Structure 1
Amino acid sequence: MKSRKPLFESVIILSCKEMNKKDFEERESFMRRAYNQSNRYAEAWERSKAYGVDPTMLPEQTPLGAHELTARIYNNRQLLEAALPFVDQLYSTVESECIVAICDIDGYLLATRGERLPDKLLQHHTTPGMCWHESVYGANAMGTALAEDRPVHMVGEQHFNHELHGMSCAAAPLHDPHGNLVGSLAIAAYKTEHSPYMLGTVLSIGHAIDKAMILKSEHYRTLLLQEKIAETSNNLIIVTGDDGQIVHLNEAAKSLLVPTGDGPESLQEMFCEKSAALVALNGRKALTDFVEEVKKPGTSEIHHIFWDAHWIEDETNAASTLLLVGRDMTKFVRLERSSKQGERLSTMGKFAAQIAHEIRNPVAVIKLAMQLMLKQEEFSEKSEKKGKMILSELRRIEDLVNHFLNISKPQTPTFELCNIVETLRDTCNLMQNSFLQGNLQLVEHYEEIGMITADCDQLQQVFLNLLNNAIDATPSGGTINVTVRRDEAEPQFVQIVISDTGQGIPEDRLADVFEPFYTTKSRGTGLGLSNAKSIIEAHGGDMEVESAVDHGTVVSIWLPFEPTVS
């Protein structure tokens, strides 16, 4: 049996002989549109019947409860933030009585704009929390737009429910930035207010909302990325208003600038008047590499911060924002000082080697001659005493020459297994008489860490020097503490701490303590700490001095620690 052609095709075939070509094309176009219009909602009607929707009466339903509606609004906040400005604009520009609504992917109304007209249907229509899914009302513009993910315009009897036959409704689906369906926008009016432009208007607004969703998503990602960068950055980042009130302080800035607690609310509370922050704020200046020393709250630790300051002008809101970015260059400053010190030591070493070469030989000749004279010739008691004094001073010259030679020779340790605790104990025992003579108390705290790889002789030289410095600086009745422990922050290092309760070193002179020939002692050479630091660095370690006047000095040494079996 041959299949039958659709009715409008049969009509076209029978009539074509009586029409010219132009009339035929116009009639064909009209008949196709009529046929498509009558069948485009057929699937929606079939779904409505399958759902068991009664087309003769309104469904009995109540809006969502306040708690569930609030949760849906929150879950769709990005959609509403993008859509509501357009919804308000659309409603304000339409002159006829209408309702504009936004629903989520399940068909629940999230927001509406429109007159609460007196009939029962529109009272439902304008209530947020009502569901316009096809399973509730049958084929309707909003529900069908969601079901088929396409724009829909239903007029009169195209609606499944008879109560909607007096309405003209247009709806467009809405999508998230990934193209996923998230809801629908609809405009509804009485059929008497019907306009063929309703669908185009809703469709245009729907496209605008989709674009706004993409922009908002990109903006949100940008803000999130900026926040992540700020929080994970090692730089100090501070954002304030033009009055100095702090808007944002990242973790790096908090850890260095803010003591425990809530912390300051403004730059004025945090910084002094000559600081980079207040110079930029009060003078509305942009700064680059403003060098500033910052003391960490609760400690005497000094950090060298290089500040950049930028003013950001928001012409839209007529507001200004100050962005401060601080780079903690403490390690680089120390490295630069060490580098300069190394250069000076190298130059001094070459010079010392030349001087030592020129002095050592004549001093040796003079010393030998004086020793022979004292042995072979007879002198008066007075002359003999002067001769011995000359020998004593010659020995001092030899010691000074040897110091010069120590500087000129690189500190190359001979690595072997070394028990650092035993080495310190032995050194302290050697100096018991010095502690007794100075009426000083020695307190030792040792954590048994086993053997390390080091040059014990060189380390003992360092410990002797540091203990001598502590004894010289501590008045009678004072205390010297010696501690060996694993560094909690860096467990791959062992930490040796020698501290005293002596007179301390002024803050402005701390930076010079490792300089060769710098000393505060009347008879010191100023080479002890310089040599000690060179030895520690040759071991791959580090050495720091902290001190405050009348509060003593703390010398900390870090040595690489790799547990070995003794």
Structure 2
Amino acid sequence: MNDTNLHPSPSFAEAWARSRAYGIDPNTLPSVAPVPAADLQSRIFANRLLLESALPYIDHLYRTVESECIVAVCDADGVLLATRGERLPDALLRQHTTPGMIWSEQVFGANALGTALTEDRPVHIVGRDHFLTDLQGMSCAAAPFHDDNGRVIGALAIAAYKTEHSPYMLGTVLSATHAIEHAMKLKSEHYRTLLLQEKISETSNHLILITDAAGNILHRNQAAHLLMPINGPLRLQDVFSEKSAAWIALQEQRDLTDFHEKWLHPATGAEHHLFWDARWVIDPLVKQSALLLVGRDMTSYVRLEHNLRQSERLSTMGMFAAQIAHEIRNPVAVIKLAMQLMLGQEDFSEKSEKKGRMILGEISRIEGLVNHFLDISRPQNPNFAECNLLELLQGICNLMQGVFREANLRLVEHYEDVGAIQADADQLHQVILNLFRNAIDATPAGGMVKLTVRRAEEPDGVIIEVRDTGQGIPEDRLQDIFEPFYTTKSKGTGLGLHNSKSIIEAHGGDMEIQSEIGQGTLVSIWLPARHEEAILD
């Protein structure tokens, strides 16, 4: 058949002109192979939103259209992505129903899919309006798909024998196309919402977990993963205790708000203060309940609040101490002086003199307590100067040798040459004396206290260690050991370690305590070699 004797309808004249310009032989059905499998999979993935929206509709079309037909979806290049129908002769069957076949005008000339894509309009090509002779026994309708920006992204087509031609075919395609585009828009908005929610979830500092009704953790965001670095399937029962918000919400099937709990990091052992909100929600897709847990790590705020309360308490105590110091010290000084004069000038029996000495001892203790309270009201502002640390510590040890002998304890000293540091010698003297007194009180007779001084390289500075072989401190009390007024001694004030740590921190250093029951206690002090203010001076 010679195509020069054939004339298409006016609406397809331009499509025929393009077909001739492509050099297509109208009397030969092109023998072309589908695109490679990798290319097809890439196109399917790139058009997954289109296919997810279109597949339910093309399945419905193929089931409901009474005539023998093929329903196909292609991408913007005319590559078939999905087809339904197996009722055409073999030659055409391969062309129409093989995913990856290219139904562009450049390959098959004027045809429903190719022309709809090229001219960006719905078309219905029947019989001799097809450029290829082999297609002229077909009736095909196609309409393009558009994205939100109006760009052509593919097309939908129905192909049937011309004997099955229906004037409603194009209307059916148009209705399906509009429905698919609407579904794409809804899915696109849904995907954007899900993507936004996912981004919010992953970038949020809040801990977000989702579980099913049995407690299986379905999702953890990055913040929750960092706090619970456990691999593999997880259940709430594997992560949380029976007193936790998650466990209570799961077991009692109820919502919770601002549920405070303490969490120990499984890797570092650090304590976190978490505030949980728990909500039961219904998954609309599967019609099942899910538990949404949102946790806020308020550790820094809890510590800040604790420090503020502590500061207020210390401030109040300092004001109180400053106000009553003179009221207490003046009469105490008079009583002490009078007792000293009486003991020096009067003749007392041995029993009365012993009681007098006891009174002087208790007066000295009262003076010590007053001085402790006064220390609270005075900020620990060191007077930095060059300090020979080894001379300072050796002097303290010489001063305390008699006290150690009286307690039947051995004092061991180990020094490295650390040179001079910038520090307040009087304040460091107070710190070391306090640590020695604590070690003496905690160590039974026959034990040992060891003082070690060495240089620290990272960061640059010196380390002072006081280790005893005493009874040790229970683990649950270590976290409170530096709190003001907290003490494990029956007659302690609870201010020694607090003041010592304050002094060290005022020097820009740090103090830590490690202890184990029955193994003794190690107090470690790190001090910078030079203080910033001293360097600037």
TM-score class normalised by the smaller sequence: 0.7 to 0.9
Preserved CA contact (<8 Å) 1:267 1:277: yes
Structure 2 residue aligned with 1:338: 307
Listed one character per residue, the Cα deviations across residues 188-232 of structure 1 (whole Å, up to 9, x for unaligned) are 112222222222222222222223223222222222222222222
Structure 2 residue aligned with 1:8: none
Query: Partner amino acid for 2:158?
Result: I
Structure 2 vs 1, CA of residues 323 and 423 (structure 1 numbering), >3 Å: closer, same or farther?
farther
Structure 2 vs 1, CA of residues 550 and 108 (structure 1 numbering), >3 Å: closer, same or farther?
farther
Structure 1 residue aligned with 2:215: 244
**Alignment of 1:148 onto 2:119:** yes
Q: 2:453 and 2:222 mapped to 1: Cα distance?
A: 35
The more displaced of 178-187 and 284-293 is 178-187
Matched pairs, number: 520
Q: 1:427 and 1:247 mapped to 2: Cα distance?
A: 59
Secondary structure, counterpart of 1:268 in structure 2 = helix
Query: Partner amino acid for 1:71?
Result: S
1:267 deviation in Å? 1.1
Matching of residues 311-330 of structure 1 within 5 Å: 311-330=280-299
Structure 2 residue aligned with 1:286: 255
Pick one of 462, 467, 481 that aligns with 1:513. Answer: 481
Preserved CA contact (<8 Å) 2:74 2:80: yes
1:136 deviation in Å? 0.7
Structure 2 vs 1, CA of residues 508 and 177 (structure 1 numbering), >3 Å: closer, same or farther?
same
The more displaced of 434-443 and 193-202 is 434-443
**Alignment of 1:101 onto 2:72:** yes
1:337 deviation in Å? 2.1
Pick one of 285, 302, 318 that aligns with 2:271. Answer: 302
Query: Partner amino acid for 1:430?
Result: I
1:314 deviation in Å? 2.5
Secondary structure, counterpart of 2:334 in structure 1 = helix
Secondary structure, counterpart of 1:40 in structure 2 = helix
Structure 1 residue aligned with 2:396: 430
Structure 2 vs 1, CA of residues 167 and 443 (structure 1 numbering), >3 Å: closer, same or farther?
farther
**Alignment of 1:187 onto 2:158:** yes
**Alignment of 1:40 onto 2:11:** yes
Matching of residues 519-538 of structure 1 within 5 Å: 519-535=487-503
Structure 2 residue aligned with 1:353: 322
**Alignment of 1:63 onto 2:42:** no
Listed one character per residue, the Cα deviations across residues 344-403 of structure 1 (whole Å, up to 9, x for unaligned) are 222222222233211111222233334445556666777666655544443333222222
The more displaced of 172-181 and 159-168 is 172-181
Q: 2:471 and 2:156 mapped to 1: Cα distance?
A: 80
Structure 1 residue aligned with 2:89: 118
Structure 2 vs 1, CA of residues 122 and 517 (structure 1 numbering), >3 Å: closer, same or farther?
closer
Pick one of 344, 356, 370 that aligns with 1:401. Answer: 370
1:423 deviation in Å? 4.8
Structure 2 residue aligned with 1:87: 58
Query: Partner amino acid for 2:186?
Result: L
Secondary structure, counterpart of 2:84 in structure 1 = strand
Q: 2:331 and 2:414 mapped to 1: Cα distance?
A: 47
Listed one character per residue, the Cα deviations across residues 396-435 of structure 1 (whole Å, up to 9, x for unaligned) are 332222222212x23151465778xx65894477347668
Structure 2 vs 1, CA of residues 301 and 431 (structure 1 numbering), >3 Å: closer, same or farther?
farther
Structure 2 vs 1, CA of residues 268 and 379 (structure 1 numbering), >3 Å: closer, same or farther?
closer
Matching of residues 10-25 of structure 1 within 5 Å: none
Structure 2 vs 1, CA of residues 136 and 462 (structure 1 numbering), >3 Å: closer, same or farther?
farther
Q: 1:255 and 1:429 mapped to 2: Cα distance?
A: 49
1:171 deviation in Å? 1.2
Query: Partner amino acid for 1:397?
Result: I
1:445 deviation in Å? 9.6
Structure 2 vs 1, CA of residues 525 and 208 (structure 1 numbering), >3 Å: closer, same or farther?
same
Listed one character per residue, the Cα deviations across residues 158-190 of structure 1 (whole Å, up to 9, x for unaligned) are 221111111111112223344433222111112
Preserved CA contact (<8 Å) 1:108 1:128: yes
**Alignment of 1:465 onto 2:465:** no
Q: 1:428 and 1:113 mapped to 2: Cα distance?
A: 95
Structure 1 residue aligned with 2:4: none
Q: 2:17 and 2:35 mapped to 1: Cα distance?
A: 27
Structure 2 vs 1, CA of residues 103 and 343 (structure 1 numbering), >3 Å: closer, same or farther?
same
Secondary structure, counterpart of 1:41 in structure 2 = helix
Structure 2 residue aligned with 1:4: none
Secondary structure, counterpart of 2:71 in structure 1 = strand
Identify unmatched segments of 5+ residues in structure 1. 1-36
Preserved CA contact (<8 Å) 1:411 1:535: no
Query: Partner amino acid for 1:343?
Result: E
Preserved CA contact (<8 Å) 2:272 2:299: yes
Query: Partner amino acid for 1:61?
Result: V
Preserved CA contact (<8 Å) 2:449 2:466: no
Listed one character per residue, the Cα deviations across residues 269-295 of structure 1 (whole Å, up to 9, x for unaligned) are 222222221111111111112222222
Secondary structure, counterpart of 2:9 in structure 1 = helix
% of aligned pairs identical?
Answer: 62
The more displaced of 499-508 and 44-53 is 499-508
Q: 2:37 and 2:471 mapped to 1: Cα distance?
A: 72
The more displaced of 463-472 and 77-86 is 463-472
Preserved CA contact (<8 Å) 2:511 2:526: yes
Q: 1:492 and 1:311 mapped to 2: Cα distance?
A: 53
Structure 2 vs 1, CA of residues 216 and 305 (structure 1 numbering), >3 Å: closer, same or farther?
same
Secondary structure, counterpart of 1:110 in structure 2 = strand
Query: Partner amino acid for 2:332?
Result: V
Structure 2 vs 1, CA of residues 176 and 430 (structure 1 numbering), >3 Å: closer, same or farther?
farther
Secondary structure, counterpart of 2:32 in structure 1 = coil
Q: 2:280 and 2:461 mapped to 1: Cα distance?
A: 44
Structure 2 vs 1, CA of residues 339 and 230 (structure 1 numbering), >3 Å: closer, same or farther?
same
Preserved CA contact (<8 Å) 1:444 1:481: yes
TM-score by length of 1: 0.79
Query: Partner amino acid for 1:64?
Result: V
Q: 1:524 and 1:139 mapped to 2: Cα distance?
A: 100
Structure 2 vs 1, CA of residues 226 and 516 (structure 1 numbering), >3 Å: closer, same or farther?
same
Q: 1:207 and 1:497 mapped to 2: Cα distance?
A: 79
Query: Partner amino acid for 2:155?
Result: S
The more displaced of 275-284 and 346-355 is 346-355
1:532 deviation in Å? 3.2
Q: 1:131 and 1:441 mapped to 2: Cα distance?
A: 90
Preserved CA contact (<8 Å) 1:451 1:563: no
TM-score by length of 2: 0.83
Q: 1:146 and 1:497 mapped to 2: Cα distance?
A: 82
Structure 2 vs 1, CA of residues 379 and 492 (structure 1 numbering), >3 Å: closer, same or farther?
closer
1:119 deviation in Å? 4.8
